[in-house]
Structure 1
Amino acid sequence: QYTLRHTQRDALQAFLKENEIDTGIYYPLPLHLHPAYADLGHKEGDFPRAEQIASEVLSLPVHPELTEEQIVYTAEKVCQFTREIAPSP
């Protein structure tokens, strides 16, 4: 996987899905908000940068079976989204 950040992560994920590109969000919650760490008493807002990053990360497919054509297509679609649909500040 190759992980990137975009302020419009969910829209980017939907755009890539429309273009038949699989993606994944492997860390939807920052650790301090994960139920396994609830006993530490942290709440939303305690680590704003971690929360921001968790809301922006998206992983693209990377594996040996990807062809160069698929890699270029994926890169072009990410660039298209960023250029034409939702520029990231």
Structure 2
Amino acid sequence: MLDRKGHPFVTSKTGRIFEHRLIMSEKLGRTLLTDEQVHHKNAQRQDNRIDNLELWSTNQPIGGRVKDLIIWAKEIIAIYGDDEAVF
């Protein structure tokens, strides 16, 4: 945890943020959404190099009407764009 009181990406009242979340937020240029997590690719939680981090989202439907899934997919593309190389 890092002390970053006043930093725009810190959402906790204590002014502390996990380093991996701060690094990902800075890469994205925004705070993380509530359904976003930062995953360590090599499972080493102390390895916070950006190359070892990837953005995960828990925002996903579990089945549904195709019409609704298309709407959901368009919303995801509106948030993240359609260039998977960015992530």
- Give the TM-score band, short-chain normalised: 0.3 to 0.5
Structure number with the higher helix fraction is 1
Normalised TM-score (structure 1): 0.37
Normalised TM-score (structure 2): 0.38
Structure number with the higher strand fraction is 2
